[in-house]
Amino acid sequence: MEPGKQGRMNTSRFFLAGILWISLLAPGALPQATNNQAALVKQSSITFVGTVSQVAATSFAGVPKSPQTIVVRVDSVLKKPAAVSLKKGDTVTVEVKDPAAFHDGTQAMFYTEGWIFGSGVAVKELGHDTAPSGGTPGAAETGEKVVGQAHSEISDQDLQRLLATCDYVVVGRITHVHAWAIPKSAASRYRTSEHSANWQEAVLQVQSVLKGPKLKRNKMVVRFPLSRDVAWVSAPKFVPGQQGIFILQKDEVSGAPTSSAGGYKADVYTCLNPGDWLPMTDEARVRSLLENR
Amino acid sequence: MRALAGYPTRVLALTLLTLMVGTVFGRGQSPGKRAVAAPAHAKVVDLIPASLSGETNQDSEPFLAVQTANPQVMVASAFTPNPISNTGNAPLYVSEDAGNTWVLNAITPVPRMTCDITHAISIGENHPRGDLHAGTLACAASVTLDESESDDVSSSAVMNVQSSRTNVDQPFVRALAFSNADHIYVGLNDLGQSSGRTATVDVSLDGGASYKSYSIESRKTMGQDGPSVRPAIAPDNTVYAAFFGWRKFNGSMATSDVVVVRDDAGATGSHPFQALKDPSDKLPGRLVVKRVSIPWSNAPTLGQERIGSTLSIAVDPNNSSTVYVGWADRGRKGDIYTLHVRRSTDRGVTWSKSDLPHTTISNATNIALAVANNGTGGLLYQQLSGGRWVTHVVQSRDAFATIQDTILATVPADRPVGQFLPYLGDYDYLLSVGNEFRGVFCANNTPDRANFPQGVTYQRAADFNTRTLTDGSGNPVAISIDPFYFSVAVMP
């Protein structure tokens, strides 16, 4: 079995264990999760239920101790990246916002982002619920969605950032790809480097625009790096016939922001971040995130 | 009679075989003078922390900085992405116990992952866990250089960017404590230089608050110099820098000089790096070798690694007249890439006319040189040999006439399949601290003791009996490229 799949199974197991633990603690007597909780779950990269074991302390060497750092024993993990090793019984250092809210024995759902990774995990608090209301049916549903989201190539949080800062989001299909001939006007910036991008141009047949001004024509030119160099390897690569959702920026990188590849002179766009191209299966998710901006 | 008649043939065959083994596995020279005993105090540590046991990234191109005033504190780096987020800051590895354990702290100014990073810790500003100076390139943008600093590498504060510009390559940082400020020297290839004289050193004399940029190429180029520009500094304020002066380039082969410049006052003058002139044209920059052919391939060529620009320079910290330079070129017929090391004992004015003994090394890359306090020369390199990447650290007290060769790792070269280039890195690193050589290299992380002849410590979850990695919960994890720290006792 692929390790990634193992990791996903693990996450699911942790999630189910967390739900079970919460259910045993507070059976059927808890309110619905609030919008704030749902936002915190989406925003956090590591979400877990835990019990405070020490205040003003840290759980492993290499984490600077302060009045804001507390040690928490993990009771269940609801969300974490596959690369991170974290399970029930581990201790975590949490840099909290308000140390007065915690004392030995405090139980809480911690919504956190990663901080330091060593022999253990140190995280920064984004929010918490001291009553384990994260175990309510509402929060459990939210949590389940988040675990599902963690399986995707890109988190909702990262995708939201891409959608917020891009110029266009379109659904379309690549019709043609060719090497970009660097014009004389931009040649001076193209010297030999191991980071050379090896730019290609793709003609994108637009089927619908999810974000951005209305297009005059239903074609766009997308410039993308074919290079396998570390600088460009994470940028999406395109082939003719490739369909999906394209999150596009006006080209500010290649040095020549227009092209005639589509049959007429037009602005060129890039999608250089991992997640700037998504398969059609993500269309509903993208639409939902765009609507909830 | 037939047996007797065959004896000379067998002796000849055995002799030839021995010579071939010496060429392929050794340095292509007589192994007779090589001492192969390994030092007793070698330490090798996989940097990936236990809490990231599930990671499978290609954590290549390592670098290392040591705080000389407190050598317990070290910072390492590699192409390690932020483990949590595509938009979070790229991380550094930090050790506060002389490399026994490492934590990952996401404090560089670059999103997600750097695409070149080097750094140095100096003590001019008296920060107990700093002052770290870094040169970083950001990925998937217009390859932007940030020159930045951290006063405390264990804090969560993101490094402060002090200078930034685009269109540069391979920043290579060295720092020297000077009074109450750090002097910082960043070798880089400034591709924005319209003159084509792109080999450049950025100099800060005020701890990074301000930088001045100096082209150190005084000759005509084919439009640019090679990517690697390497400074080396001595405590007496002597600064050397080596670079590839590209004279011709056809896309797959550069015709290059190996050039060394020198400044005797820490580059504090108005026209720095002019002290060393070549007798052939009286221009600044001594030509150590002229017009060597250097293959350029931005594709898997030496095993799964690309080639084109490996270069190192090191100065004796207690005698700045002694300086070593090493590079790779096309070398001998049949070689893909051949390392060479030369030495000067008169401040770079004259150089050994041929490679030092035992330093013409076939099919190898990632050369890194250092000189210990007692004058011992150190040479780190990675050689493709018998289908394996073999990482050597070689020491010598007599300009490599006799050597002590320590193999740190010998790992399969065909696994894992590369995720991107560079596979192991365009460089690794070696430096000296007290009576140790310390350094970093990258390798296949299969937990197999046979792969690490000096022994190895893994922080991440690994089962050496089954030779498998796990995620900390018992689930198997695929092998990948990891960064390894090492320490080797300096020859007495």
Domain boundary among the residues A151, A170, A189 is at: A151
| Residues sharing a CB contact under 8 Å with residue B107, sequence separation 6 or more, in sequence order | B89, B91, B92, B150, B153, B155, B156, B157, B158, B159
What pLDDT shows up at residue A264? 82
Domain span at residue A286 reads 160-291
Q: What is the pLDDT of residue B4?
A: 36
Does one domain contain both A142 and A96? yes
Question: What is the residue-averaged pLDDT of chain B?
Answer: 90
% of chain B exceeding 70 in pLDDT: 90
Residues of chain A contacting B197 with CB distance shorter than 8 Å = none
Name which residue leads in pLDDT, B20 or B64: B64
- What interhelical angle do A35-43 and A156-165 show, nearest 10? 90
Beta carbons of B421 and A228 less than 8 Å apart: yes
Best mutation site among A42, A88, A117 for testing chain B: the one with the most B CBs within 10 Å? A117
For B382, what's the count of Cα atoms within 13 Å in the CB-facing half-sphere? Answer: 33
CA A281 to CA A162: how far, in whole Å? 18
- A145 and A176 inside one domain: no
Determine the topology of domain B36-489 in CATH: Neuraminidase (2.120.10)
Least confident of B26-35, B205-214, B347-356, B418-427: B26-35
Residues A37 and A54 in one domain: yes
15-44 in A: which are within 8 Å (CB) of B? none
Percent of chain B at pLDDT exceeding 90: 80
Which of A120-134, A209-223, B253-267, B325-339 shows the lowest per-residue confidence on average (mean pLDDT)?
A120-134
How far is Cα B481 from Cα B221, in angstroms, rounded to an integer?
36
Given an 8 Å threshold on Cβ–Cβ distance, is B143 in contact with A193? yes
Rounded to a whole number of angstroms, the distance from the CA of A122 to the nearest CA of chain B is 10
Nearest CA in chain B to A90: B51
pLDDT score for A194: 92
Mean per-residue pLDDT of chain A: 83
Q: In what order do the strands lie in the sheet with B253-263?
A: B229-233, B239-249, B253-263, B286-295
Q: Does the pLDDT of residue A141 top 70, yes or no?
A: no
Domain residue limits, chain B = 1-30, 36-489
pLDDT at B349 over 80: yes
Q: Is pLDDT of B9 > 80?
A: no
> A187-228, pLDDT tens digit by residue?
777 889 999 999 999 999 999 999 999 999 999 999 999 999
User: Is A147 found in the same domain as A9?
Assistant: yes
Q: Which of A151, A182, A212 is the last residue of a domain?
A: A151
Q: In this structure, what CATH number is given to the domain that contains residue A22?
A: 2.40.50
Q: Which residue spans within B346-435 are E strands per DSSP?
A: 361-362, 364-371, 377-385, 388-396, 403-412, 429-433
- Does A73 share its domain with A130? yes
Tell me which of A225-234, B10-19, B228-237, B250-259 is least confident: B10-19
Q: In this predicted model, which residue has the larger pLDDT, A253 or A283? A: A283
Tell me: do A74 and A97 sit in the same domain.
yes
Q: How confident is the model at residue B80 (pLDDT cuts 50, 70, 90)?
A: very high
ipTM (interface predicted TM): 0.88
Region A146-163: mean pLDDT is: 68
A86 and A52 fall within a common domain: yes
Q: Closest chain B residue to A88 measured between Cα atoms?
A: B473
pLDDT at position A182, please?
87
- What pLDDT digit, counting tens, does each position of B443-470 carry? 999 999 999 999 999 999 999 999 999 9
Instruction: Tell whether the model's pLDDT for residue B5 goes beyond 70.
Output: no
Are residues A164 and A99 located together in one domain of the fold?
no
Which of B54, B306, B308 has the CB atom closest to A82's CB atom? B54
What is the per-residue pLDDT for A262? 72
Q: What is the pLDDT of residue B16?
A: 39
State the total domains in chain A: 2
Note the pLDDT tens digit of each residue in A17-62: 444 444 434 433 344 445 677 788 888 899 999 999 999 999 999 8
CATH code assigned at A271:
2.40.50.120
Q: Edge to edge, what strands does the sheet with B144-150 contain?
A: B114-121, B132-138, B144-150, B160-166
Q: Which among A29-38, A163-172, A182-191 has the top mean pLDDT?
A: A163-172
Whether residue B310 has pLDDT greater than 60? yes
Average pLDDT over residues B208-227: 97
Q: C-alpha distances in angstroms, B336 versus B24, B93, B297, B342, B355?
A: 12, 33, 11, 20, 18
Query: What's the pLDDT at B174?
Result: 96
One domain for residues A183 and A268 = yes
A94 and A61 share one domain: yes
Cα–Cα distance for residue pair B312/B230, rounded to 1 Å: 6
**pLDDT confidence of residue A231:** 92
Residues A31 and A142 in one domain: yes
The residues, ordered by sequence, that sit 6+ positions from B447 with a Cβ below 8 Å of its Cβ are: B458, B462, B463, B464, B467, B468, B469
Of B83-97, B342-356, B412-426, the one with minimum mean pLDDT is B83-97
Selected residue with higher pLDDT from B2 and B142: B142
Residue that is last in its domain, among A104, A127, A151: A151
Residue B48 distance to chain A (closest CA, Å): 8
The pLDDT value recorded for residue A158 is 86
Q: Give yes or no: residues A62 and A137 share one domain.
A: yes
pLDDT of residue B331: 82
- Lowest mean pLDDT, pick from B98-107, B174-183, B366-375: B174-183
Peptide bond into B62 cis (omega under 30): no
Please indicate if any CB of chain B lies within 8 Å of the CB of A166. no
Band (A186; pLDDT cuts 50, 70, 90) = confident
Residue B481 and residue B423 in contact, taking contact as beta carbons nearer than 8 Å: yes
Question: Nearest by CB to B102, which of A118, A232, A253?
Answer: A118
Q: What is the pLDDT of residue B126?
A: 67
